[in-house]
Amino acid sequence: QVQLVESGGGLVQAGGSLRLSCAASGSIFRINIMGWYRQAPGKQRELVARITTGGSITYADSVKGRFTISRDNAKNTVALQMNSLKPEDTAIYYCNTWPARDPYWGQGTQVTVSS
């Protein structure tokens, strides 16, 4: 059974940093593009960043220059380093494959940025 477990969220002031981590079980990690997504209250879930098995990366325009996605293929983990956080980054953050697959959604990790 595939599981994706996110961690590392919290409450931070604007301008601060957080590092999110996602641990993947099963074989999906090694063969898939992995992504970080977020869902803010009242908004649709959106892709924040994605990374291929070879390390090619794409970011949403809203986070370019502030967020960095990385993956460790040996440990089946994907991380999201978030710097210069803004109140509009407040959301629940999830990891999933890209494209996302419904059975893989986990509980996510809450990120709250205060102004």
Find the helix or strand (DSSP H, E) in which 20 lies.
Answer: strand 18-24
Coil, strand, or helix at residue 58? strand
Q: What is the pLDDT of residues 22-37, one digit of tens each?
A: 998 767 777 789 999 9
Is residue 22 within 8 A of residue 105, CB to CB? The reply is: no
Q: Which amino acid is at 35?
A: G
pLDDT tens-digit profile of 73-105?
888 999 999 999 999 999 999 999 999 999 999
- Phi and psi dihedrals of 81, rounded to 5? -90, 120
